[in-house]
Amino acid sequence: MKKIYICGLFLLLAGFSANAQTSPKEMTITPGPGNPWASGELIQPDALVAQINSASAKTPPIFNIGAVEDIKGATHIGAVGNTENLLKFKKALADLPKGTEVVIYCGCCPFAKCPNIRPAYNELKTMGFTHIKLLNLPNNLQTNWIAKGYPLAK
């Protein structure tokens, strides 16, 4: 009986240890009931940085739809949970072709609790955009962008 108890305890601890070693880069907010996007619609911060820093790649329009700092090249909209800012977002999108790749981010809080990302995503879908990218900031802009030295607007 003691051997079974020790084996069970070992397996339990091994499981906790494996979970603790998951790197932040592997964290994503996948599709589900509260997350209408597909996993292919997430863009990792390092991939967006590569586009921003590339002389040859065309950087897609980037919209800051939260109340955080602007990353390099982003258009500041403000928190789209606010109706006035949602209208500002719609106006900024009005002249873009529907097939344009559009990147949105907030970064105010953990992605799973963000009050802005879902309304912005849903508005893009409603307007007919087909190439939507959500900057994957599972924690916040500070942790997943600024602390890594990624570029901010000047």
Q: Which tens digit of pLDDT belongs to each residue from 107-127?
A: 999 888 899 999 999 999 999
- On whether the CB atoms of residues 111 and 102 are closer than 8 A, the answer is no
128: alpha, beta or left? (left if phi > 0; alpha if psi -120 to 50) = left
Higher pLDDT, 8 or 81: 81
Domains and CATH numbers, the chain: 25-148 (3.40.250.10)
Per-residue pLDDT at 24 exceeds 50: no
pLDDT at 62: 98
**Tokens 């990624």 — which residue?**
150
Q: Identify the three-state secondary structure at position 48.
A: helix
* H or E element that contains 43: strand 42-43
Strand, coil or helix: 130: coil
Closest CA to 76 of 133, 48, 116: 116
| Percent share of the chain, pLDDT over 90 | 69
What phi and psi, each to the nearest 5 degrees, are found at residue 7? Answer: -65, -45
- The answer, yes or no, to whether residue 58 has pLDDT greater than 60, is yes
Query: Model-level pTM?
Result: 0.80
